[in-house]
Amino acid sequence: MTDVGDLIPYLAGALAAGGIAVAVSRRREYVLRWCAWAVAVPVVVAALYLGPGGAAVLAAAAGVGCAVEYGRLTSLPRPDRVVLTLAVPVAPLAAWLAPAQLPRVLAAVVLVVALVPLLAGDAAGGLNRLCLDVFGVVWFAPLIGVVLLGPAVLALFAAVSVADITASFGGRLLGGPRLSPLSPAKHWSGLPAGAVAGLAMLALLGTFTLPLAVAVTVGAPLGDLLESMIKRGVEAKDSASWLAGAGGLLDRLDSLLLALALAMLLGA
C-alpha cells in the first residue's frame, strides 16, 4: 500500500480540481462542502502521517463528535449521552494500544452502554434507549478501521468524498427516478456517476483494490441512506448545524462509516 506521504500531491491536485468544479457549479452547498474538505484533508493527512497513534486519536475524536451529535439527534437522556460519548472512542484507542483485545473491548463497550437504561429502571422508555445506545456503538465501531487499515484510509476518505459529491451533483443534473423514499433528493442516475468518480480517485491514488472499490461503490451510498433513515425517523434535516450550510460531522462521515466497515470485512 502506498505511504501517506506519497498520496499528498495527488490529494492536493484533487482538492484544487474540486475547488474549480464547485466554483463553476455556483452551488452554495457544494462550495461549503469543499471548504469543509479544505480544512479536513490537512488534518486527516497530518494525523495519519503520525502513524497508528495519530490515526487512533483522530478516530477517537471523530467518535466523540459523532456520539454527541447522535445523542442530541435521537434525544437520548443525558446519562445515555455521557456514557455513549465516553464509550465510543474506546474502540479506536484499543485498536491502537491493544488490537488483540479488540473483540473483548467492543463487547465490554456494548455491555456498559446497555446497562445505563437497565440500571435506571426505565420501564417506559428503557427498550428504546437500549436499542439506540447499542446501535450508536455499532454504527461508530467502524472507526477502528482508521487505525487498522493504515494508509488505505486516506484513499478511502478521498474516494468516498469525491463519490458522494459527484453522485449528488450527477443526480441533480441527470434527474430520473428517486433513489429511495429515505432520501427523496437523490436519484438513481447519481449512483453510477458517483461510483465512476470514486473508482477513478482510487485509481489516481494507486490504491485501487476490489475491497476498496466495493466499499466506495456500495458502502458509501448505503451509509448515506442509513443516516437519512435515522434523520427521517426523528424528523430532522441534519445531524447538527455547526458546519455552516453543511450540517454536522455525522452528515459528512455517514458514507465513510459503512465504507470502512465493508473495507475491513472484505480484507482491504
pLDDT of 200: 93
Q: Are residues 87 and 209 in the same domain?
A: no
The residue among 254, 156, 150 whose CA lies nearest residue 209 is 156
The Cα angle at residue 250 between residues 245 and 256, in degrees rounded to 5:
115
Q: Do residues 11 and 154 touch, judged by C-beta distance below 8 A?
A: yes
End-of-domain residue from the set 144, 162, 178: 144
Q: Band of the pLDDT at 40, cuts 50, 70, 90?
A: confident
**Residues 215-238: b if buried by 16+ CB within 10 A, e if exposed:** bbbbbbbebbbbbbebbeeeeeeb
Q: Do residues 186 and 178 touch, judged by C-beta distance below 8 A?
A: yes
225: containing domain: 1-51+150-268
Q: Do residues 67 and 136 touch, judged by C-beta distance below 8 A?
A: yes
Q: Are residues 72 and 159 in the same domain?
A: no
Q: Do residues 193 and 166 touch, judged by C-beta distance below 8 A?
A: yes
pLDDT of 29: 72
Instruction: Say if residue 246's pLDDT is above 80.
Output: no
Model pTM? Answer: 0.90
End-of-domain residue from the set 109, 129, 144: 144
Q: Are residues 182 and 128 in the same domain?
A: no
Identify the H or E element spanning 226.
Answer: helix 220-233
CA distance 241 to 13: 29
Q: Are residues 114 and 157 in the same domain?
A: no
CA distance 18 to 38: 10
Q: Is residue 207 part of a domain?
A: yes
Could you please report the per-residue DSSP string of 49-105?
HT-HHHHHHHHHHHHHHHHHHHHHHTT--HHHHHHHHHHTTHHHHHHHH-GGGHHHH
Instruction: Say if residue 13's pLDDT is above 90.
Output: no
Q: Are residues 174 and 266 in the same domain?
A: yes
End-of-domain residue from the set 114, 144, 174: 144
Q: Are residues 101 and 224 in the same domain?
A: no
Q: Are residues 257 and 184 in the same domain?
A: yes
Q: Are residues 119 and 178 in the same domain?
A: no
Q: Is residue 61 part of a domain?
A: no
Q: Are residues 246 and 158 in the same domain?
A: yes
Q: Is residue 102 part of a domain?
A: yes
CA distance 19 to 22: 5
Q: Band of the pLDDT at 215, cuts 50, 70, 90?
A: very high
Instruction: Say if residue 7's pLDDT is above 60.
Output: yes
User: How many domains does the chain fold into?
Assistant: 2
* 165-206 pLDDT tens trace: 888 888 887 878 888 888 877 888 889 999 999 999 999 888
- Residue 165's φ and ψ, nearest 5 degrees, are -75, -30
Identify the H or E element spanning 156.
Answer: helix 152-174
Q: Are residues 77 and 32 in the same domain?
A: no
Q: Which residues pair with 187 in a beta bridge?
A: 178
Q: Is residue 58 part of a domain?
A: no
